[in-house]
Chains A and B, each alone.
Chain A
Amino acid sequence: MPLLAARPSPLRTGAVIAALVALIPLVAVLITAGGQATDSLTPETFWRYARTSGALVLLVGLGTGVIGGLAAWLVALHEFPGRRLFSWALVLPLAAPAFVLAYGYASLFDVAGPIRTAWRTAFGWDPPFEMRTLWGAALVMTLAFYPYVYLTLRAALLSQSSSLVEAARTLGLSRRQAFMRIALPLARPALAAGMALAVMETLADYGATSYLTVQTLTTGVVRAWAVFSSTAEAARLALPLLVAAAVLLWVERANRKAVGEAGQARWRGIEREHLGGVKGWGAAAYCSLLILFGLALPLGWLIHLGWAGDHDIARLVSGARNALGIGVVAALVTTLLATVVALGTRHDRFLPRLLSLGYATPGAVMAIGLLAPAALIWRAFPSTASSVLMALTLMVLAYAARLMAAALEPIDAGLQRVGSSVGAAARTLGEDAIGAARRVDLPIASGALFTAALLVFIDVLKELPATMILRPFGFDTLAVMADYYAKDERLGEAAWPSLVIVLVALPAVLWLTRRVSHSRPGDPT
């Protein structure tokens, strides 16, 4: 029931203004795409980029679906040695940006790298696998993004009430049959939603693909801007990415809705099947390998490289300071905007849906979309603000535009748990809409606000393309430093900022996962 829908509320107005922040760059991309072209983009190039992006999406989608899906199935429905540990450890690769894995694997599989050298010594011939290819990029991103599928599918399987499978068993189905005919169909929307998230990240990636010399639409956007200084071309390359974002978003939303409706009443957890002997150890080995390849191996190799290589502590400290500073500011601004949107749109899904489009949009595209409005402001008020402050503001706006939807999700969930009646109670006790939000809704949802801020912070820390495009001259973040050194083939130096990112993100990811996985249907709230 819409609360006071007939009266214009200050919260509602605030929500619309906050949402505009996310929508302006998207509209600007469309307008910019119609601008003057410089002929450097031929149709052939365009289609080559598009084909590569398409192939990458397909491979990573399937890869994460299989690898992450299997992991979720094992952990959620089986008991085996180390299951409790794996259930959260399998999420850890989320702490490492894809480009960090790319550095590690490219170096490991280098001609002079340890794997090829060992292989040649053992077999006398060169291994056929090359990392700087489409297949290599797909492997790296599959390892980096499988946790999205793992998390959504595991949550879906855990939230299914055991009574459904039990009913199927009493109707004559075996355990396997019950899984295939009941549990899996019920969890299929979650699988699709997780894969959609993994694919969104794949399309957004710039650091890993560009380092592995794979040319996608996203690297094309950055290239058009950096090499050809053509925002119009960058924007044109961004158009199919925007369409893809909209499609993926639709897939993710449509499927997520179905997830929520499965098996709600009388929730009781599924009893796990005990995997004994070889099977149990096989499951444990599988999970260990995922963590090994998804995090430990590439990270370990980077530690080794970093230890051996040079490092510039002063630059590292300044990069870390910049990254943490902009991360904190972006987290605060984005959480604030998302809170305003959440409070103003509690019974209306339209604005949040528009914001989600921002989330599905690659950072590079968002940055291109901000350049045009920024230029307008620049021309209108040339001397009012320092260029550094302007650029920093643009960065924060780009992050906010992209991540507002991500922040909105926990805040919305938190407010929904609060329920609408406490807010209404505050109103009947003499508080106006803003007072009720300040004294009741927000204090109760404070945990959700922190979760939202942390989510944004991690994403900003790992973000590369938008930062590259919008940052003020000389403003290096950890990700930008890593990219710069890596492209310069100084992996020993690239390793340090990479490792600092992972080190900061790791505890945050861990905390977030534990928090999310501890809230289940049937838990007292």
Chain B
Amino acid sequence: MTAAIEVKGGVKRYGPKTAVDHVDLTLQAGRITCLLGPSGCGKSTLLRLIAGLESLDGGTIEADGHDITRLPPEQRDIGLVFQDYALFPHLRVEDNVGFGLKSMPAAERKARVQELLGGVQLADRARSFPGELSGGEQQRVALVRALARSPHTVLLDEPFSGLDSHLKGAVRDATLGMLRASGAAVMLVTHDAEEAMQMADDLALMSEGRILQRGTPEDCYRNPVSIDAARLLGEAQVIPALIRNGMAETAFGSIPAEGEPDGQGQVMLRADALITGDGVPVAVTESRFVGQGWHTRLSADGVSVSVRLPDQPDGQLQVRLDPQRVQVFHPS
């Protein structure tokens, strides 16, 4: 399978700031890649570079093996869903969706627009203006407008950030369905780790202009390449460890660290990394009920961590580390 989009060594600078720093990224047809990173990390710039709305300062972009680095956006055959949807306020919904289909005969275009709008339950809003639609409806119009030309690649820039939280789930599922049905290569940019993991076939973690890690969501979550990468996917805590003879010893117990050289190290753990039962005695300093469990602060040997426990802990507690849910690092 050839890659729909391949960015090789992409560089973009704004004055002294390097927004995108030697990035390699591949988008596969039929797969959804989520680009996850904090705001200002360059992920939206990378998206605009692929769309052709910004030009690269270095590197190349290929589509199906052809170099499109210097191609203007209108010739790239890439659909883009903007964060603010960018619906044309002076055009009706049907004209927004049909905007990119001007070379199509009128009757054919009308049919295509109806089909697209029907697919997102908006057939009855064809004559409305974007300003008359709800946020969720606008999002769907933006999506089918981008899909109307059957582009080989669809890019989405924080497509759910403008929606109320109670709408997000449903809109996300519907969007996912449309994107899968289109067969296009999809890249979705987001800063929401949960959203990224729900949507992604492949995940790319980005920070300060660089791609830190690429892989499946589970792989990235379970085996982060660095503490920074780990933090992008949710709360990650770091405790000091002493590595000796293939074991990492911490205040909360020891875990295997095969192949790691002896010396000072760090252990990254998530909120579900501690198992109660036999293990190291710890002190409970605070415990609050947060719905899915008990958010608890534990300390041992002067090191404290926050974990989520299924039951309310009493004063005396013994815990051990779950080796599947921690990661050993050497300080750089």
Instruction: Assess whether B29 is interfacial by the CB under 8 Å rule.
Output: no
When the two chains form their complex, are residues A425 and B86 in contact, meaning their CB atoms are under 8 A apart? Answer: yes
Instruction: Assess whether A376 is interfacial by the CB under 8 Å rule.
Output: no
When the two chains form their complex, are residues B84 and A428 in contact, meaning their CB atoms are under 8 A apart? Answer: no
Closest to B131 in A: A524
A266 to chain B, nearest CB (A): 19
When the two chains form their complex, are residues A430 and B53 in contact, meaning their CB atoms are under 8 A apart? Answer: no
Closest to A442 in B: B90
Among candidates A428, A432, A435, residue contacting B78 with C-beta atoms closer than 8 Å: A428
When the two chains form their complex, are residues A5 and B55 in contact, meaning their CB atoms are under 8 A apart? Answer: yes
A-side contacts of B146, CB under 8 Å? 428-429
Closest to B146 in A: A428
A-side contacts of B45, CB under 8 Å? 1
A4-B53, A428-B51 given; A422·B74 CB < 8 A: no
B-side contacts of A5, CB under 8 Å? 55
A506 to B24: give the CA distance in the assembly, Å.
62
Instruction: Assess whether A173 is interfacial by the CB under 8 Å rule.
Output: no
When the two chains form their complex, are residues B88 and A428 in contact, meaning their CB atoms are under 8 A apart? Answer: no
0/1 string, B75-102, CB within 8 A of A gives 1:
0101110111011111000000001101
When the two chains form their complex, are residues A4 and B54 in contact, meaning their CB atoms are under 8 A apart? Answer: yes
A435 to chain B, nearest CB (A): 8
B-side contacts of A439, CB under 8 Å? 99
A290 to chain B, nearest CB (A): 39
B-side contacts of A429, CB under 8 Å? 74, 99-100, 145-146, 148-149
A427 to B73: give the CA distance in the assembly, Å.
6
Instruction: Assess whether B224 is interfacial by the CB under 8 Å rule.
Output: no
A500 to B114: give the CA distance in the assembly, Å.
55
B-side contacts of A430, CB under 8 Å? 74, 100, 102, 149
A-side contacts of B80, CB under 8 Å? 424-425, 428
A421 to B149: give the CA distance in the assembly, Å.
19
A421 to B51: give the CA distance in the assembly, Å.
12
Instruction: Assess whether B72 is interfacial by the CB under 8 Å rule.
Output: yes
Closest to A2 in B: B54
26 contacts between A and B (CB under 8 A): A1-B14, A3-B53, A3-B54, A4-B55, A6-B55, A7-B72, A419-B86, A421-B84, A422-B87, A424-B73, A424-B82, A425-B80, A425-B88, A425-B145, A427-B74, A428-B78, A429-B74, A429-B145, A429-B146, A429-B149, A430-B102, A430-B149, A431-B100, A432-B72, A432-B74, A440-B88
B-side contacts of A427, CB under 8 Å? 52-53, 72-74
A4 to B56: give the CA distance in the assembly, Å.
10
When the two chains form their complex, are residues B88 and A1 in contact, meaning their CB atoms are under 8 A apart? Answer: no
B-side contacts of A425, CB under 8 Å? 80, 82, 86-88, 145
0/1 string, A431-443, CB within 8 A of B gives 1:
1110100011001
0/1 string, B42-55, CB within 8 A of A gives 1:
00010010011111
CB neighbors of B among A1-56 (8 A): 1, 3-7
The interface centre, meaning the residue of A1, A422, A429 with most chain B CB atoms within 10 A of its CB, is: A429
Instruction: Assess whether A426 is interfacial by the CB under 8 Å rule.
Output: yes
When the two chains form their complex, are residues B79 and A428 in contact, meaning their CB atoms are under 8 A apart? Answer: yes
When the two chains form their complex, are residues B74 and A421 in contact, meaning their CB atoms are under 8 A apart? Answer: no
| B contacts, CB < 8 Å to A | 14, 45, 48, 51-55, 70, 72-74, 76, 78-80, 82-84, 86-90, 99-100, 102, 145-146, 148-149
The count of chain A contact residues (Cβ–Cβ below 8 Å) is 24
A422 to B96: give the CA distance in the assembly, Å.
11
CB neighbors of B among A450-483 (8 A): none
A-side contacts of B149, CB under 8 Å? 429-430
Among candidates A422, A433, A443, residue contacting B86 with C-beta atoms closer than 8 Å: A422
A515 to chain B, nearest CB (A): 18
Instruction: Assess whether A244 is interfacial by the CB under 8 Å rule.
Output: no
When the two chains form their complex, are residues A444 and B88 in contact, meaning their CB atoms are under 8 A apart? Answer: yes
B-side contacts of A419, CB under 8 Å? 84, 86
A429 to B45: give the CA distance in the assembly, Å.
19
Tell me the interface secondary structure of chain A in the complex: helix
Among candidates A7, A435, A443, residue contacting B90 with C-beta atoms closer than 8 Å: A443
A435 to B145: give the CA distance in the assembly, Å.
17
A424 to B88: give the CA distance in the assembly, Å.
11
B158 to chain A, nearest CB (A): 12
A-side contacts of B70, CB under 8 Å? 7
When the two chains form their complex, are residues A421 and B86 in contact, meaning their CB atoms are under 8 A apart? Answer: yes
A424 to B86: give the CA distance in the assembly, Å.
8
Give 8 closest A-B pairs by Cβ, nearest first.
A429-B100, A421-B86, A425-B86, A427-B73, A6-B55, A428-B80, A422-B86, A421-B82
Closest to B99 in A: A429
Among candidates B53, B76, B145, B148, residue contacting A424 with C-beta atoms closer than 8 Å: B53
A26 to chain B, nearest CB (A): 31
The interface centre, meaning the residue of B74, B145, B146 with most chain A CB atoms within 10 A of its CB, is: B74
When the two chains form their complex, are residues A431 and B74 in contact, meaning their CB atoms are under 8 A apart? Answer: yes
A429 to B102: give the CA distance in the assembly, Å.
10
A429 to chain B, nearest CB (A): 3
A4 to B12: give the CA distance in the assembly, Å.
12
B-side contacts of A426, CB under 8 Å? 88, 99
0/1 string, A395-425, CB within 8 A of B gives 1:
0000000000000000000000001011011
A-side contacts of B79, CB under 8 Å? 428
The interface centre, meaning the residue of A3, A6, A428, A443 with most chain B CB atoms within 10 A of its CB, is: A428
A426-B99, A428-B80, A430-B100 given; A7·B55 CB < 8 A: yes
A425-B82, A426-B99 given; A444·B72 CB < 8 A: no
A5-B55, A424-B73 given; A444·B145 CB < 8 A: no
A-side contacts of B99, CB under 8 Å? 426, 429, 439
B29 to chain A, nearest CB (A): 18
A232 to B90: give the CA distance in the assembly, Å.
52
When the two chains form their complex, are residues A444 and B74 in contact, meaning their CB atoms are under 8 A apart? Answer: no
A431 to B75: give the CA distance in the assembly, Å.
9
A289 to chain B, nearest CB (A): 44
The interface centre, meaning the residue of B86, B99, B148 with most chain A CB atoms within 10 A of its CB, is: B86
B-side contacts of A6, CB under 8 Å? 55
A155 to B150: give the CA distance in the assembly, Å.
48
B-side contacts of A431, CB under 8 Å? 74, 100
A432 to B102: give the CA distance in the assembly, Å.
13
Closest to B51 in A: A428
Q: Given A433-B72, A439-B99, list of 13 further CB < 8 A pairs?
A: A3-B53, A421-B83, A422-B86, A424-B51, A424-B53, A425-B86, A426-B88, A426-B99, A428-B78, A428-B79, A428-B80, A432-B74, A444-B90
A74 to chain B, nearest CB (A): 36
A429 to B80: give the CA distance in the assembly, Å.
8
A-side contacts of B53, CB under 8 Å? 3-4, 424, 427-428
Among candidates B76, B78, B88, B102, residue contacting A422 with C-beta atoms closer than 8 Å: B88
B-side contacts of A1, CB under 8 Å? 14, 45, 48, 54
Closest to A436 in B: B74
Closest to B157 in A: A421
A215 to B73: give the CA distance in the assembly, Å.
59
A451 to B24: give the CA distance in the assembly, Å.
48
A421 to B157: give the CA distance in the assembly, Å.
11
B234 to chain A, nearest CB (A): 30
A-side contacts of B88, CB under 8 Å? 422, 425-426, 440, 444
